[in-house]
A and B are shown apart, each in its own frame.
Chain A
Amino acid sequence: MASSAAVPTDVKRPSLLRLIRENKVAQGLTLISPANVYLVLFMVVPLILVGILSFLSRGEYGQVLFQFNLSNYTRLLDPIYGRILLYSLGVGVATTVLSLLIGYPLAYYIARAPARQRSLLLFLVLVPFWTNFIIRIYAWIMILRAGGFLDTVVQWLHISDQPLHLLYTPTAVMIGMVYEFLPFMILPLFTSLEKIENAVLEAAADLGAPPYRVFLRVTLPLSIPGMIAGTILVFIPAMGMFVIPDLMGGAKTILIGNVIRNQFLTARDWPFGAAASMILMVLTMVFTFYYARRAGLSEELVV
């Protein structure tokens, strides 16, 4: 037996290389730390700063005074801001519900299409989404403005001679919002509808369920993860939106996002804007955690 033959050095004496090689925890931490450091520095720290800022006050020239108080939050109790907050919530909920109602049948159709058509149909939903956000809004401005495409069509069909004056109304804002967020609803819905196996539907039919009951009792419940993911993906950005109300809502439609933007860039009352941001953030986070708790953040979130 040659067991006493030369013993490789890396067998008996743990080298540095061996320590690195065998320490899986250190390897994992090394790989994750650039992301963690970056995200803590550029996301968590800024958010904490905003939190602190919300308890400070504004000086005469818009500078920040280091006086700790709750006045920014008490100001938010003013009915004006209460109404804006409620209105924003309403717009967020309406956008979500409309996207769900419009998007569900489409997602259902795509999921049931033959495999070859499926990727093309999905691709067609995505193309406008990959073009620019501002450009999409601009397209709708062209359609809705006085004498624009919609008015032309309406006149041509002899429905009305008068311009509809749709642009710069809450309706215009809703049209723009739904258009903007529809793909975020369709994609997760499609993902969870596509997963439903045909055998499951056939089993339900085999057990005597008519098509509408198959849909209500099987398809619909199985697509709930997609609905939840879609709702999160639509509701949160809709709540914070200020660009669409800015461009399509005129001065009439003010959402919480507009309030925040104005405090930071025109009114220059940063502490108050920070407080409004905190309220918005808490609202969306409570919403997400409530939802995520119920369903778990699923893979449908990853489009």
Chain B
Amino acid sequence: MQSEFAVELRDVVKKFITPEGNELIAVDHVNIQIRNGEFFSMLGSSGCGKTTSLRMIAGFEWPTEGDIYIEGEPQGHRPPFLRPVNTVFQSYALFQHMTVFQNVAFGLEMEHATKSEIKSRVGRALEMVRLSSMDRRRPSQLSGGQQQRVALARALVKTPDVLLLDEPLGALDLKLRKEMQLELKALQQQVGITFIYVTHDQEEALTMSDRIAVMSYGRVLQVGPAVEIYERPTSRFVADFIGESNFFDGTVKAVNQKKAVVTIPAWKQDLQATLVADAAAGDAVVVSVRPEKIQISEQPKTNDNCLEGVVFNSTYIGSDTHLFLDVGGQQVKAWEQNRVSSLDPHLFYRKDQKLWLTFPAENVLVLPKE
């Protein structure tokens, strides 16, 4: 390992020409540094540039501007077969005319490995994904989950520096997907290879990743560990895309290091808040509060950020109750966990009930107005 980073995208731009002749910027000045041995996810909705970025790392596309570095080496227009990375495709892309064994052996044959070496390495790879007994089957004779594992073994048997995974669990049903998430994470820790994982499923990204890059319209909005992305989003988009949040327009009144006081004009009231990005007094900002961070009480509390609201909708969803309240003309959502087990309807909040909401200052985030 000659480099600190397994993969680095330096100022990468990718433009396409659409069939109508328009220019489309799929990836827009992206800078990402992925460390060796990391489980790194690129998260975003379709068309955000995550798959294009992955395909550029693999070598199926080339950057229009900037370059991609693998283990410190610039890749330029190097074709995929000369890159030390391997891919697990969304469609698995198994060779239907070959057996499971032949599929996994293909990459080793390309390296001119000896017959005995191929045999032992393929055997180990299939063992790793628990498919040893299936080596003579054809892909069409396997279930979706098994095909997925063959695709994984086929890529891992090459012991690449980096494994690229393009929504590999997308075609599986929910239960199998959850199992595979944990299995993939365990596998990554076992082999110690850098994984770059592309997904549009936030839960999947949060479950598995060491770090996540949230992308939108070709740009990287935030990079960080799951906790950081969720607890300290630096933009309204990220706060909205990952999980749910309440947003209120406001103006910064005062700033004291990481703390701030924000006036919410709709309430004619000040909120004690936390800064996650730069802001100065007088700036127009957006304040974000996650629904499950809001504390609910029937009596007012003496601390700051306590507001009165009226329930206009209460939805029981099993583990939680979702409350929708009217606070001074603004709609606020608050999630309450159902800790007590009871069928007594009076224990649940009712429509038109008056309640007090407390926004803890460390959970009131000041975000730049977009």
Contacts and interface: CB of A to CB of B under 8 A. Distances in A.
B72 A5 contact: yes
A8 B78 contact: yes
Interface string B36-75: 0000000000000000000000000010000001011111
B2 interface: yes
A94 B2 CA distance: 80
B78 A10 contact: yes
A116 interface: no
A83 interface: no
A22 B62 CA distance: 10
A5 B77 contact: no
A301 B194 CA distance: 50
Contacts of B62: 22
Contact of B74 (A7, A21, A22): A7
A200 to B, nearest CB: 27
B79 A3 contact: no
B75 A11 contact: yes
A261 to B, nearest CB: 47
Interface residues of B, number: 15
A2 B77 CA distance: 19
Given A1-B3, A1-B4, A5-B2, A12 B76 contact: yes
A217 interface: no
A18 interface: yes
B79 to A, nearest CB: 6
Interface string B69-107: 101111111110010000000000000000000000000
B76 A2 contact: no
A92 to B, nearest CB: 39
Contact of B72 (A1, A11, A22): A1
Interface string A216-239: 000000000000000000000000
B78 A3 contact: no
Contact of A18 (B2, B72, B77): B77
Contacts of A22: 62, 77
B72 A21 contact: no
A5 B69 CA distance: 11
Interface string A257-300: 00000000000000000000000000000000000000000000
A41 B190 CA distance: 63
B74 A2 contact: no
A1 B1 CA distance: 11
A21 B82 CA distance: 14
Interface in B1-60: 2-4
- Which residue of B3, B69, B71, B74 has the most chain A CB atoms within 10 A of its CB atom? B74
Given A2-B3, A3-B69, A11 B79 contact: no
Nearest to B3: A2
A5 B72 CA distance: 8
Contacts of B82: 8
Contacts of A8: 73, 76, 78, 82
A11 B3 contact: no
Interface in B309-338: none
Contacts of A11: 74-78
Nearest to A17: B79
A210 B74 CA distance: 70
Nearest to B2: A2
Contact of B79 (A2, A5, A7, A21): A21
A18 B78 CA distance: 9
B67 to A, nearest CB: 8
Contacts of A18: 77
B120 to A, nearest CB: 31
B78 A2 contact: no
A14 B62 CA distance: 13
A5 B3 CA distance: 11
B74 A3 contact: yes
Contacts of A1: 3-4, 72
B72 A2 contact: yes
Contacts of A21: 79
A9 to B, nearest CB: 10
Nearest to B62: A22
A1 B71 CA distance: 9
Nearest to A3: B72
A18 B79 CA distance: 9
Given A11-B78, A21-B79, A5 B4 contact: no
5 tightest CB-CB pairs across the interface, nearest first?
A11-B76, A2-B72, A2-B2, A2-B3, A3-B72
9 contacts: A2-B72, A3-B73, A5-B72, A7-B76, A10-B77, A11-B75, A11-B76, A11-B77, A22-B77
Given A3-B74, A10-B77, A21-B79, 8 more contacts: A1-B4, A2-B2, A2-B3, A2-B72, A7-B74, A14-B77, A18-B77, A22-B62
